[in-house]
Structure 1
């Protein structure tokens, strides 16, 4: 039977041992040591494998030792057993006088020789550990003293070098050599002040034991130029942003730095990390230019989307003083979108012919513009929109598959008739909720949500009428927002656009009040106004006004007083005003009444210019005035909390 590879190797090792003897064993030991890797340098998997192997070897070794202590007692020669058996036959039992018939071999437990000195070894190990700890403490103290002495030595060398440098500079001045490159007399410099490139060059030469006056001028100029360039690179690098730093690093880095071993030198001279210099060796200026162009395109796209979302037909500004969002430029008034992002994205692509994706469009929405939330706790919403939202909610509960968004429902009516949605109702009776005015016991009227249960046929007839009215309402709202947007873009010379609305009354207060002051608080009227105009250019400008009054009536008398002041202010700001366009909400108590119609008809005689008054749909007069009112109240409230003012009357806000 042929030999296996293992048997051949074993036979080869045996022959080598017989031929070479100890020299072969020494070579094998050296070879094994050369391949040995400390366990700390191995991976966790290899460490676990080695420990497992060592445990098995130790177990085998202990088992071998245990067998070696047992075998001598069990493998005695038979003759010795026979001789001992004859002697043991005479052994008498302790309980009887009869001799023991069978020989009894008793082996006493023998302590392992390796464990006999364990206690003494432990004491020696503890003593050595204590000595090691003591030496470690002495080593730390010695290192601390060494650092202290080294710092003293460095300061002494630096001071000596500065003294020598100042003496050499003085000597060069006396001999007529301006080593500093200055026309005037030399000035003493402190050790902490940064040296000029020429001074640093001469200092480096003297530190190496060379005299600058004996160095050729062309060599000195090259050294000065090198120091000058490194200073300029360091200055530009430290003052740049991350992208500019990447460009600077790409310019100065090169594979030649590694070839001539100058990477560390350049890093120390310019302050650029070595890792950056290594990564930026490959220059791809096309990618850099492409990234720059892409960044410019993204910023332009972001501005266009922001302008689109801030339009009054796409979002409305919140009027509350707490409706704010903190940004990098301070607090900004919140805006709420009038529609969902999907429709606004489609609308933006239609108007601008842009290929921006929906995800990018949503990403570029600023955080001060919130998403649409219907039936949320909000004030001054359109009653028709809210009634339609409540009706859609009732239809949804009755089994119809309709969206809860009124504007989305109107868009679906373009392809699906309203009767299709109404015919899908499952319940025979529908619980219907609407905002309505009801008569109160004291004779006043109050707007509340009224719930009523209608049959399916009655509900369908009411909904058909309401859907028709709501569709016309939505079309008028869109037409009005488009009209004011077009007017702002194409405002003729000599025309001004005045957009105004009453804000929520401001409650006068102070930072520290007595208990009874809460029940005696006063309020003032705030009337924000935004005036748009063009002055000697095609750029649209605007001015903001906030009128404060103790009159809480919110009637047209106060509005007329505000209008007179606005016209006088704008006559001083804009030359040759011919026409004023008023855009307001349409409450009959404030703007849409006979007094307003009279002022508009006789505006030329009263104020000297023609006027056109435009009314928004009811509940859709939100605009920049609401944001100005909220900002004004928030600013006044902040001043009150800081204790700067105490507002008890309207004149304290002026």
Structure 2
């Protein structure tokens, strides 16, 4: 058997035609060739033959050649039609999906980069002179300097300025966040430095941490434990001798019992008991924070309790008696005018003018109703809107509204004359 021959050593039986050999014919008939290698074995000898097979064009190649032909025949109409086709097929950005929008922006970015490179290349080109020729004129190609770039420069400037402002705002936000974090850490270090000298058994944080850890191991919460069991747990955690443990146990039992009683009063919301907690020795020895952690109440709750002070509600019978007393004929006068009305809560009532001052009417009401205990302030508040004070009566007389006004007008006319 002979060695395998190279395919390049053979020439095909049918020569491969190039595109140049098809000049003068229709471009649609121009098709390429493909070389096919046929290997046969005759009497232990390998013979390789090459034949050129004519291959058809693909659909994409046919369409591309058709577009090139149309572009060459009618360039202006083709470009106009192509631009209209792209405008019709355009989809606005807000209707695209995030992936499609990202892909479009990447393509636009690449296209603009290619355009900038092309413009830069044209600007940086040196003067090109055509070769010497006797029949043709001398052609000089100068670099393009007058490029319309004002609008593009302004757009680039605005884009870079917007990016700089955005980056500046992000950095300022980060700076503020870092400053806040730095202050928080500094405050934490200050608290730790203050606690270092008193890191003994009197430290409430350490005690509570140890007790909570032991209770969590035992599966019992601190609130569910009785004062005696809580005292036993705390004394066992200290690991003292028998004599010292007995002394500490008595003091702890007393404090835990007092705390338990205070917690029960807080749960029942006894206002006097809660207010008295923060007065006296608690504030003097600065134990309010430790007490608030153990009881679960703070100064805001105490202040809210003091503000939520309400008296007994006034009965409807007393309100009705006060209104009837003020509407009586000997205490008020009904105005006769059609417009002398007052509408409250969609209920229209005729106006009344008090015949005396409210202070005197209050004393009169107390004499007539000695069994009803009512203060002067409440009596003033119970006066309905349609009952007007006694000062209005001086301005609602015939002399004031008619005759006196006319007299003043005549006096003014005399002065002008």
Whether the TM-score (by the shorter chain) exceeds 0.5 is no
Larger radius of gyration: 2
What TM-score comes out, normalization by structure 2 length? 0.29
**Greater helix proportion:** 2
What TM-score comes out, normalization by structure 1 length? 0.21
